[in-house]
Amino acid sequence: TTVGDFITQTPAGSRAVRMLGLRFGTDFSLRPDLVTQPLPDFVDSVAVPTGLDVLVNDRRVANVDIQPGEFTVRNIPVPVGRSEVGLVVRDALGREVVRTIQFYGSRDLLAPGLSEGAFNIGAIRRRYGLVSNDYGPVAISAMLRKGFSPHFTATVMGEATETVMNFGAAGDAVIGNLGILSATLRASRADLHDSDTLSGAMIKVGFQSVGPDVSYSIEYRDVTAHYADVASANGDAQPPSLLAANISFDLKEFGRLRFAAVEQKQREAGEFAGPRRTTRLVSANYRRELHRKVDLSLDASYRRDGFGRSGFTILAGLSISLGGSRFGQVSYSRGQDEDYVQAGLYAPETGPGETGYSVTAGTGTVDRLAMSVSHQEQWTRLEAQGEVVGGSAAARVGMRGSVIAADGQIFASRGMGDTYILVDSGGIEDIEIERENRVAGRTGSGGRLLIDEVPGYNTIKVGINPAELPPDVIASSVEEYVAAAPRSVSRVRLGLTHHVPEIMRLSDPQRGLFPAGTQVVAMPSGTEYLVGYDGELEINLALRDTELEIREPSGSICRADLVDRDVKEGSAVPELRCYMRSRTYVVGGPGDIRHPGRSARKALSTPDRPASRQSANAPRPAGDTQDAAAPWRLSESELGGVYGPVWTESR
């Protein structure tokens, strides 16, 4: 769903318009796992364990082992166009059974049972790019497509304004696994310029076949007088009548050759019944790689326009790779008895911190010199252009960028895309982040970097180069994979932490050094360590922990204050002692003790202190001056030393 300015969602071959309003429709990109076009299937059975190879155009795309019984191979990936799909079944003796089918793949078809629809309503935006905020009348358009079989998809569509109504239907069908036949029929009624109601129609028929060696297509479209759609009713020209055909040959190492012919009949914008001007064009082009770094292109065409003007044009060009992103181009063209020669050097920037440039010079009909310099940073892209044409000069300076609010922080981005990845390096700044093994930038304030221009739902590798890490930083992992949803910001946390190691020797005043394997937890970070031989322990001071909790196999816990570590004379390793913490108990009266946080009381029975609360006159320990009715406060050490081990807990 889109609210605001948008381009209407229409079926292929229909003319979309810009609107301000509401768009509601199917977006298959939200389900990247969904197969939207028909794909070939195989169903068969085997009696013994068997190996299975799946071939597409003699290339193996899958190899699996199957068990006895019936099996199904679904959604075999095939390219657009004619394909040969083979299934090779091989038993334990090496005997093979080969099954092949011919299949035509097309993205114009929907998988059986799958539907696609859209509804658009809003004010039509006119003269886009020329006038701001020029909106016309309200228009409505809708369409619905449905796949009825692997070989046929049907479409219905309609659109209307206050003065125009246009409805139609279309169908796409695979013919004999050779190609796809498309047909469209649309009818319109329009009330324009205070005239009578005018009716018109458009019919379009086309056939396309794409193959590994030869591809061809033909299209015929006829538009009658008075035919109108929403676009033509608001200033655009009426759709032209058309007859077009092309054929191309893949000559393998000898290049590609293509021929095309077009005849177009077009009325002027705003005219619905006037004469149509006919333009004819015949062209041929050839492309070939002469060398690993040199490409050749040749083009020839003949054109005759609707005003009777005609002429031949030829063009020859070379493109030369110069290493990295740099390349050069040289071309020569001749048309209308005029020659033109052009040469250029180009080095586009490909990432943050890079500077690109281009220089183009041409001479012939008119002399032209153009130069540009561009620079990218994580937060913007700057570009300066200069041009001299026929003695006239012009210059332009541009800056592009956007401001993004994500995860409670504001980021500046050079891109204008709608999908981003937010990389979090654990608060560590100036860490070089890579995207698909290319430098994407460095983390800034808070240890974060916003990566822009991310294709939605495509899995992107984000990571670091361990060799570039500072010496006091360690990484638990060096790369992560993320697929960001369109129009969102996805966060990736890299396992980076500052590491300032220190080795110390941990001991207990009563038992000496702790044995190897003793578990230690540093607080408050919660980082876990293990004691090594000779009671030695390495901790990370960068976490700024203040205390260690030592968990013994018996389950008891003692604590060591990291501030209290000291270095003995003759030893380079600081020593740290672990002590049981003293806890205070509240004694409700003679013979009664209560643990803080527990409601239950426990009798205190010693030779000098009877357990009964009624024994108010019982003798007290020496130095005990508390009133018999007042609570007594005794520490664990007092309980264990004065009265014996009555009730103690280790914490």
Q: Is residue 226 part of a domain?
A: no
Q: What is the pLDDT of residue 466?
A: 84
Q: Is residue 516 part of a domain?
A: yes
Distance separating alpha carbons of residues 208 and 403, to the nearest angstrom: 45
* Structural domain ending residue among the three candidates 445, 465, 498: 498
Q: What is the pLDDT of residue 243?
A: 96
Residue with tokens 């020669």: 341
| 71 and 54 together in one domain | yes
* Structural domain ending residue among the three candidates 481, 498, 515: 498
| 534 and 523 together in one domain | yes
Q: What is the pLDDT of residue 570?
A: 55
Beta strands in 509-609 (DSSP E): 512-513, 519-523, 527-530, 536-540, 547-551, 557-561, 575-577, 584-589, 592-594, 601-603
| 552 and 605 together in one domain | no
| 474 and 520 together in one domain | no
- The domain spanning residue 545 has which CATH number? 2.60.40
- Per DSSP, 466 falls in state G
* Structural domain ending residue among the three candidates 525, 550, 577: 577
pLDDT digits (tens, 9 = 90+) for 235-290: 788 888 999 999 999 998 899 999 999 999 987 765 666 677 899 999 999 999 99
| 630 and 558 together in one domain | no
Give the pTM.
0.68
| 553 and 589 together in one domain | no
Q: Is residue 529 part of a domain?
A: yes
| 556 and 596 together in one domain | no
Per cent of the chain over pLDDT 70 is 85
Among 94-98, 189-193, 197-201, 384-388, which range has the highest average pLDDT?
384-388
Q: Is residue 364 part of a domain?
A: no
User: Number of folded domains in the chain?
Assistant: 4
| 481 and 506 together in one domain | no
Q: Is residue 623 part of a domain?
A: yes
Confidence band for 379, pLDDT divided at 50, 70 and 90: confident
Confidence band for 589, pLDDT divided at 50, 70 and 90: very low
Q: Please give the radius of gyration of the chain, using alpha carbons only, rounded to the nearest integer.
A: 40
| 409 and 438 together in one domain | yes
| 489 and 572 together in one domain | no
Q: Is residue 634 part of a domain?
A: yes
Closest CA to 461 of 483, 491, 442, 432: 483
Q: Is residue 84 part of a domain?
A: yes
What's the burial of 211, exposed, middle or buried (CB within 10 Å: 0-12/13-18/19+)?
middle
Domain that holds residue 526: 501-577
Q: Is residue 507 part of a domain?
A: yes
Distance separating alpha carbons of residues 196 and 173, to the nearest angstrom: 38
| 443 and 485 together in one domain | yes
- The domain spanning residue 489 has which CATH number? 2.60.40.2610
